[in-house]
Amino acid sequence: MVSFWEILSPSFLLFPALLGSVILAFVCPLVGAHLMLRRRVFLGLTLPQIAACGVAGTFWLQHALGFTHGSGGERLLATAGSLVFTLAGMGLLAYLDRRATGSPEGRLAAAYALASALTILFIVFNPAGELEILNLLKGEVISLSKEELKLLAIVYGVVYVGLVLFRREFLLNSFDRDLSFLLTGGSAQWSFWLYVLCGFSIAIGVIMAGPLLVFGFMVLPPLAARTLARGMSSFLSLSSLIGIFIAVLGFYLSVRLDLPLGPTDVAFGCVVIFAVYAVQSILRRGGGVAGLIVFILTLCAGCGARRSEAPLDLSTLGKGPVWLSSVRNGTGSDLRLPATNPLRSLGEMAGKLPPESRPTVMDLLRGSLQRELQHRQIAVSLPEERDVRLQSFPFDAVSAAANARTANLSGWLWLWEIRRWHTDGRSPLRTVVEMQLVRIDNGGVSWQRQIIKTVPLSGAARLDETSADAIRDILREVFGA
């Protein structure tokens, strides 16, 4: 398992994703705080959806004009569409605020509904690029490249500098536009520049991290900071600090529990808001300061602690044979490995070789462990070689041992199941494998592990190469070397 301090190391595999999350969490709360001061917090929900609509609309336009999807430049095209739609939508909403009558919240709700509907329709109209569009809309910050991280840092650095340099003008314009006109010479221009900075941050953020995470960072930290701040400077500072806290702890929970990063950050941000209100309630009643300090120290100690999981002790096996059951595929996905032999590929295309005959991740995993145990002088057998009915076992230890006894097997039974083995071709391969070593005579579990691994995609590596790297890492965890 990964400890809290390991994810803070620059050598950690997913450190660029953590750095990208921290950049988003540092700047987005400042943008959301200004929108909250202007009583336009729903812009934080509407504008990311408009940006997502721009991504889908741009790909639909590319398809309608006859350009081939997958010809390259999809990321740049999506960024341009997101930026154009965001700035246009923000300009239209700002114009309606000044000219139209009615409720601003109603207009934002209508804009959000329209953008959501158009996003779905654009995807339906362009089925050829549906997968790429959905990946871009999902915005996996976990797969940020160094170039994308550099772009994110530059854009958000410019936004942050603008918000800091003209902080007085933006705040004054948010509180009192008439006084802002008298002191600064024009309220409309400061609203315009604030919306421009918001538009750039949202448009780029949606491409890099997805609308959900951008909305969460824009709204949740300012909501938590509002109850703690005693002035405007502390409100803005606390918003960014709470955002960084949510990003770092949410990233740790995502890696530790193998959860998607965006939803984990947002859910943890909501927990932080409830915790802030609960702590404030305790402090108002008095006598809660000591309890609060103990809680914070306990939380930090829990994050820093690393749960030790013992590797397999080969001495417990004794002389009894180890029966390696077939690896169960609990992912629901096809884990067949790509064919590396061009003649085999031609045979499959001609229909002379069935694709089912290709090796799978399960075959590769079982064969690697079999060779490793034999190398360590452990007697290893396959159950189906003794009885063809034993092609698979349930993952329940008692039931599996009972099945083994009916076939007159003795010794040890190795059960395992792949819970996750996934990559979209850009993000690292993420794997979760459950293992149990069961005594056949009584069904007792003498050793079990859940091994979670994240393996980078190096260059143009195929799935079989990356899977082999992951299996080597898994075996190191099993044997502790």
Which tens digit of pLDDT belongs to each residue from 89-99?
877 877 776 77
For residue 128, pLDDT over 60 is answered with: no
> What's the whole-number mean pLDDT along residues 134-139?
55
Per-residue confidence (pLDDT) for residue 297, from 0 to 100:
54
Query: Would you say 433 and 395 are in contact if contact means Cβ atoms under 8 Å apart?
Result: no
Per-residue confidence (pLDDT) for residue 385, from 0 to 100:
87
Per-residue confidence (pLDDT) for residue 462, from 0 to 100:
64
For residue 174, pLDDT over 70 is answered with: no
Per-residue confidence (pLDDT) for residue 51, from 0 to 100:
80
Range from 227-231, 299-303, 331-335 carrying the lowest mean pLDDT: 299-303
Domain boundary assignment for the chain: 7-304, 314-479
Per-residue confidence (pLDDT) for residue 414, from 0 to 100:
92
Per-residue confidence (pLDDT) for residue 344, from 0 to 100:
44
For residue 306, pLDDT over 70 is answered with: no
DSSP-H helix ranges across 210-260:
211-226, 232-257
Per-residue confidence (pLDDT) for residue 333, from 0 to 100:
82
DSSP-H helix ranges across 286-341:
289-304
Scored b (16 or more CB within 10 A) or e, 175-185 reads: eebeebeeeee
> What's the whole-number mean pLDDT along residues 74-95?
77
3-state SS assignment for residue 451: strand
Per-residue confidence (pLDDT) for residue 245, from 0 to 100:
92
Nearest alpha carbon to residue 115 among 152, 140, 141, 90: 90
Range from 46-55, 336-345, 376-385, 421-430 carrying the lowest mean pLDDT: 336-345
CATH topology of domain 314-479: Rossmann fold (3.40.50)
Confidence band, pLDDT 50/70/90 cuts, at residue 343: very low
Tens of pLDDT, residues 365-415:
999 998 888 888 888 899 888 888 888 898 888 889 988 888 888 889 999
CATH of 7-304, one of 1.10.3470.10, 3.50.50.60, 1.10.580.10, 1.10.260.40: 1.10.3470.10
